[in-house]
Amino acid sequence: MPAPHLDLVFLWHMHQPDYRDRTSGEFALPWVLLHALKDYADMADHLERHPKVRAVVNFVPVLLDQIDDYCAQIDAGSYRDPLLRLLAQPDLDRIDLDDRRLLLDTCFRSNHTTMLAPFPHYLRLHKLLTQFAKEGEAALAYLSGTYYADLVTWYFLAWSGETERRRQPLLADLMTKGQRYTLDDRRQLLAWIGATLKGIVPRYRALQDRGQIELSATPHTHPLGPLLLDFAAALESQPDAPLPQAASYPGGRSRLDAHIENAKSSHARRFGAAPTGMWPAEGAVSAPLAALFAQHGCRWLASGEGVLRNSLHTAQLPAERAAYRPWQVGGADGLTLFFRDERLSDLLGFEYAKWHGRDAARHFVGQLELILSQAPAGETPIVGVVLDGENAWEHYPYNAYYFFDDLYALLEDHPAIRTTTYGEIVSRAVPPPRGTLPRLTAGSWVYGTLSTWIGDADKNRAWDLLCEAKHSYDLVVGSGRLSPDEAHAAEAQLAVCESSDWFWWFGDYNPAPAVASFDRLYRHNLANLYRLLKLTPPRELDLPISAGSAAATQDGTMRRAT
């Protein structure tokens, strides 16, 4: 009889919303670029250094679309991201006031403990700005082009991956130089940025082709699937949640069909085949959504443990072990459901950054050993560790380089822990037996509910604005007034507006400046949709959504549901 072992599945989810203004092509925020240089590059390198570790890596297609866009900008030498344009600017003494403000507002956005304080020259730039700012905006005029050249250079250096710093002599040379960066320095840095971006997709495809990773996908622009199908899905986990005024999102089923098919074709074009499984946006699932994925040939979905608990609340199965087996649900033939271990995933996402890397790695492996020791005889636990592959690492020293080096090394040599993928599990000649859920309660990986995207006054208002825009879209496109190219552009813009990210940011639990920024982006995207439909955007899109919510809360007409 084979020795007992545990199957461990890492799912690293790579996602950013579409930050492009599709009328001008300009990038409003640089997060795709920065995470590509730091996190997508580092996460590939960790796997390349540890070839016996297997994992699932999930790419949202709209993220890859933007990486492709950046590669095209660099090839053309024409930059639509203002940070790249300013990095390439020959004379930073001659930039205008708006560009100066942009650099000052942007180039210290990072974790200061891990990405600013360790670099004395970069820290000095921050101290200079702090001192000048005390004297008022007029004093900032004394900051020279040399200051701005150093600032934009250091920002990209701070956002370079730790593995890239160890592989690329250029980065070490520039960091050692520390100041007075020349145009030639910045052009060399720009060349490294281009090479790194162009290597992202080929590196992950190579990992896939040698059998080390499974590449999965999310519907194209990361829409919140259960709510596109039915706003009332939110009531399954929170029966008293307020809903938008609109009864439902018009044509949500056909829109999800399009998002899924677009994701499959995008994935096949980049990685050679359609994905076997998918991570639905925010791990949000419902019974109708599971059935829809099954109809599109999807063989597995993953979600949050909170969804499983809500779905099993009347079942006679120990809740603490329910996530360690695969599941099926009626109406979704051929589809296997997996659920992340919330505690272990959150240790990586929020806790281990405070630990010494080796201690954290050993603790994590010890937790897996404990799970295996408590498994019933003959049972092979399947432990899913699912989290963003980009956001946690800046809180770790050295972008989690030493943590991953220790963790992956321990797992490579462990006799009883086998890293694998969901695709490998469902493709086995004899797959593990699946439990049958009595029902699949709609929810997400956040609290097991959908409250992060609906039920708050601001979120509901955002949905109503989208529903109004979708009605206009249906009328104009259905009338045949747009050419095929115009209709395609309008559909692409609609898909951007359907992203879950806009609804996530609304709410008083997020920092006010971030809420205001995403509020503007969302309304701008809706206004662009109306323009592509050759309609005048409603004037209400000029008004912040969050301000309307604050007024409603003050007079008592609507309050948060969570």
Per-residue pLDDT band for 547 (boundaries 50, 70, 90) equals: low
Residues 6+ apart with CB under 8 A from 138: none
Q: What are phi and psi of 29, to 5 degrees?
A: -140, 150
State the pLDDT at residue 543: 96
Cα 14 from Cα 200, distance rounded (Å) = 12
Residue 133 has pLDDT above 90, yes or no: no
State the pLDDT at residue 141: 81
Domain ranges in the chain are 6-16+210-436, 68-199, 457-554
Residue 550 has pLDDT above 80, yes or no: no
Per-residue model confidence as pLDDT tens digits over 512-545: 999 999 999 999 999 999 999 999 999 999 999 9
Residues 6+ apart with CB under 8 A from 292: 225, 229, 253, 256, 257, 260
Lowest mean pLDDT among 16-25, 253-262, 323-332, 550-559: 550-559
| The CATH homologous superfamily of the domain defined by 6-16+210-436 | Glycoside hydrolase 38, N terminal domain (3.20.110.10)
Per-residue model confidence as pLDDT tens digits over 172-187: 999 999 999 999 999 9
Per-residue model confidence as pLDDT tens digits over 217-252: 999 999 999 999 999 999 999 999 999 999 999 999
Cα 559 from Cα 218, distance rounded (Å) = 32
Residue 557 has pLDDT above 60, yes or no: no
CA atoms within a 13 Å half-sphere pointing along the CA-CB vector of 46: 31
State the pLDDT at residue 148: 97
What angle (nearest 5°) sits at the alpha carbon of residue 456, between those of residues 451 and 462?
Answer: 105
Nearest to 140 by CA among 184, 180, 104: 104
Mean pLDDT of the chain: 94
Per-residue pLDDT band for 462 (boundaries 50, 70, 90) equals: very high
Residue whose pair of structure tokens reads 């250096």 in the numeric block:
157
Nearest to 450 by CA among 285, 308, 313, 244: 285
Residue 560 has pLDDT above 50, yes or no: no
In percent, the amount of the chain with pLDDT more than 90 equals: 91
Per-residue model confidence as pLDDT tens digits over 363-416: 999 999 999 999 999 999 999 999 999 999 999 999 999 999 999 999 999 999
Lowest mean pLDDT among 34-38, 136-140, 192-196, 223-227: 136-140
Residue 549 has pLDDT above 60, yes or no: no
State the pLDDT at residue 532: 97
Greatest Cα-to-Cα distance within the chain, rounded to the nearest angstrom: 78
Per-residue model confidence as pLDDT tens digits over 322-378: 999 999 999 999 999 999 999 999 999 999 999 999 999 999 999 999 999 999 999
State the pLDDT at residue 66: 98
